Amino acid sequence: MIIAATDGSSLGNPGAGGWCWYLSPECWRAGGFTLGTNNQAELMAVADLLTETATVADDLLIQADSQYVINILTKWRFGWKKKGWKTGGGKPVANLELVKRLDQLLSDPARKGKVSFEWVKGHAGHPLNEQADSHAQAIARAYQSGSPREADFGPGWKSGKESTSERTSDTPAEDAAKTAKYRYPEDPRETRSQQNPVAPAAAPARPLYPQLEQNPNPKEYRQGRYLIREHVLTVPLYHSEVALKLFPDSAKNPVVNLARGTDIQESGVQSELFAVTSSSAETSVKSPGKPKSSESNNQFLPPWVDAEIRKTNIQIYAREIAFDDDENRPYLIFFQGGPGCKGSRPADWSSPWFGAALEKYRIIMLDQRGTGRSTPLDNVTIPALGSRAGAWLRLMRADQIVGDAEALRRALGIKKWTVMGQSFGGFIITAYLSRFPEAIEKAYITGGLPGLTKVNRIYEQTFAATARRCQEFYALPGMEEAVRQTCAHVLEHDEYLPNGEKLTPNRIRQVGLELGRSYGLENLRYLFEAPFVQTGGKRHLTQEFLGQVGSRVSFALDPLYALLHETIYGNAVPQSEVEPTAWAADRIREKAPGFAQNGDPLDYEQPYYLTGEHFGRWVFAQDPALQSLAELADDLAAETEWPVLYDPQKLAENQVPVYAVVYRDDIFVPRALSLNTGRVMGATILEKPDWHHDGLRASGDLIISWLLSN
């Protein structure tokens, strides 16, 4: 009999973690991850051991100090499986992908030896357990410190059978196991993720633009030179006054191009004059077969905004920062990129642009609705909303965020403020200028002039830009071959990310998000420079590679980013009939050379590229953090009643000074479409060929110097 101990560790739970199975000094292996739970680490240790011993004839005794793991594998999984992987209470099984994998490994008829489990008390001097625990913690600390390269992941299985067969009886480990006492609990212990989530609480009804919640003064504190005030505001879930009731005079307007003066076509963007009927004529042009929803007061009301939604309020959080030596500076509100990302925190304020902006402004960092300390929406609270979830998610777009910003401005008594937005933050500003230009003194936009066009056009250009950038990456020696080989490897061999997700070529290719960053090529070079390791005569992907890929592609921390991404393009400009986005990224991807989901990585006659900011239906099928949201994502992709985001006519009449930075090789926000939008609104544009989408972070001192000089 082979006796092995398994253990897992998570520093923070969730946090950086490590796992280990241990037989002897000559036979053990460890692994780790950037973010996960202790239970996940415990399960991963057992899964790896079972994988390594699948063809071993000897019986296997697994000693673990986790009753959670032992109960799952010896008792609960059988009932869960019969119930369609639901608990006795009908709840989804936590860590489902890992549990399914373990069930498959234990049920494999090809397995030679029998597998049994015994509980041992942790941290009680058990020799094998102490070793497994020590190695698991060491790996966790290595991932926490960002130095997994320096960690010892062990020799692997190697001569495991030989090293253990000599010590299968009368060993201290065996004696300890024989005397161990344990009880299985009567009922499953539910993890945090299994507990009933609590829906975001609706505040009592309040006036449209109430005063700030703090009474009598906002919470205030000092941090170094910074004076910080915290603002919490109760606002309506649906701001009816931000809805644009616009209809075009033609259904044939793939690209808005309202030129100021001479129509200059430097970008090569198709030019078609776009006009909007007057408000008096709006009722004469409607979507065929789809009556326009309205209230008696003529306010636009989307079909998902019912009586309950209209009386529901949410909370919005904002952090105001100023230098403590002068509180008389004007206000600047910063809109974070995204969608679904909270405002920057103090740890992010080291960026050069931030200090320079504080010399001139008081800065307000807004947690956009659904994020941060505003009423949160994540993979716990969204399911808790039940049938209301779809309506809530439809109200997380740029237009409603503008309503929140206006509520805050009026509550603070600010006549006008300067607005600044990065990436999606620029989309919000463009929506702001379409509604309340009178509230804006000046607008700064970096990498965020949205295309005034349909979603298909957006993705056609982002795929093309991503292909060009990937070609730059492949010019580095060995990189294309490394991408092709790793993708081909996971087609033939099962490899798993730290969260238990089976790795696929599409998930590997998703690391191409890095191509949009200034140092993206270098970061990807280090990722792919040595992805394989030989253990036990087999080739595996390294734990570091798996951990790095897992941390880059998981949306466990920001599910809204993936869930809302395509919605930000829905009905961007007025259309006679609003088309659904309908998983545009997936549709356009199959037409873009080198991006097909099922492309053969070893077909060297065809290009094979990494992908960028392209969230298709497949992501929700594969990422465990998104699987519970897949039906909602489908629902959003099918929506045809989106309110209009941008008013081209109002933008063409814009008098607010707009200063925008456009990046020539931006793979996220197409350059040509950005230049077109800039011309429409009369923006002053700085175009740089050597900066990428993260230019504000990477070269913030240069960018902010130019912006503030205007």
- As annotated, the active-site residues are 7-8, 42, 65, 123, 133
Quote the CA–CA distance of 622 and 603 in Å, as a whole number: 24
Quote the CA–CA distance of 408 and 410 in Å, as a whole number: 5
Per DSSP, what are the bridge partners of residue 222? 227
Contacts of 311 (CB under 8 A, 6+ apart): 202, 205
- How does DSSP classify residue 60? E
Handedness of CA 660, 666, 668, 669 (dihedral sign): positive
Q: Give rounded-to-5 percent helix, strand, coil for the chain.
A: 40, 20, 45
Quote the CA–CA distance of 588 and 462 in Å, as a whole number: 10
CB of 452 closer than 8 Å to CB of 680: yes
Quote the CA–CA distance of 330 and 335 in Å, as a whole number: 17
Quote the CA–CA distance of 557 and 492 in Å, as a whole number: 30
- For residue 82, the Cα-to-chain-centroid distance in whole angstroms is 33
Q: Where are the alpha helices (DSSP H) in 574-670?
A: 584-591, 617-622, 630-637, 648-652
CB of 212 closer than 8 Å to CB of 411: yes
Quote the CA–CA distance of 375 and 385 in Å, as a whole number: 13
* SS3 state of residue 582: coil
How is 96-117 classified by DSSP, letter by letter?
HHHHHHHHHHHH-TT--S-EEE
Other residues' Cβ atoms within 10 Å of the Cβ of residue 307: 7
